[in-house]
């Protein structure tokens, strides 16, 4: 049944797919996801796996900031959307206008500030699907990466 579904998917996406020659898999092109004003489009492809239903994708969103001894995180949220006319999922990061959130501990006066990757505290895990790109729109000043979660053997 899986082979039939893949064959039907390739036919339905003709002209809108790319071929991953390393894994011999046809995927919808990231070009289907248009650019958004004031946002950067981040596109990730996950490797095919035999246990995709057991895996999840986490979005890691943040930026490099100078920090002191306080714990710092970025405010904001991630919303899930559907590509109109196709039904493919993409994600949009909405940064909080307040910027960063920090504890207010009194740091030692001689403590130097350090460059640190400060993240949004996003705890959602999303479906792992090697047939579709993971597309994330985020404000230009934010970096986006993904982390793949899988059960231990």
Q: Render pLDDT for 95-126 as a digit per residue (tens, 0 to 9).
A: 887 788 899 999 999 999 999 999 999 889 99
Pair 101, 62: CB distance under 8 Å = no
Q: Does residue 25 surpass a pLDDT of 60?
A: no
Query: Which residue segments constitute the domains of the chain, with CATH numbers given?
Result: 31-149 (2.60.40.550)
Question: Among 12-26, 103-117, 133-147, which stretch is predicted with the lowest mean pLDDT?
Answer: 12-26
In 15-140 the beta strands, taken as DSSP E runs, fall at 17-20, 25-28, 39-44, 56-67, 72-82, 89-102, 114-119, 125-127, 134-139
Q: Does residue 14 surpass a pLDDT of 50?
A: no
Rounded mean pLDDT, 21-44: 78
**Across all residues in the chain, what is the average pLDDT?**
82
Reported as type and span, the H/E element at residue 149 is strand 143-149
Residue pLDDT, tens place only, 64-97: 999 999 999 999 999 999 998 888 999 999 988 7
Give the total residue count for the chain. Answer: 153
Q: Does residue 5 surpass a pLDDT of 70?
A: no
Residues ≥6 apart with Cβ < 8 Å to 23: 47, 48, 130
Reading the block at residue 53, the tokens are 């239903």
């Amino acid at each position: 049944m899986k082979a039939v579904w893949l064959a039907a998917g390739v036919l339905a996406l003709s002209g809108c797919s790319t071929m991953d020659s390393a894994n011999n898999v046809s995927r919808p092109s990231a070009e289907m996801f248009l650019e958004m004003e004031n946002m950067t489009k981040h596109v990730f492809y996950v490797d095919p796996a035999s246990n995709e239903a057991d895996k999840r994708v986490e979005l890691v969103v943040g930026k490099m900031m100078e920090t002191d001894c306080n714990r710092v995180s970025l405010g904001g949220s991630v919303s899930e959307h559907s590509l109109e006319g196709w039904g493919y999922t993409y994600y949009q990061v909405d940064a909080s206008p307040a910027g960063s959130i920090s504890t207010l501990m009194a740091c030692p006066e001689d403590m130097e500030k350090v460059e640190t990757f400060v993240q949004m505290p996003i705890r959602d895990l999303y479906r792992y699907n090697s047939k579709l790109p993971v597309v994330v729109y985020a404000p230009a000043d934010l970096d986006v990466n993904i982390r793949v979660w899988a059960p231990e053997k």
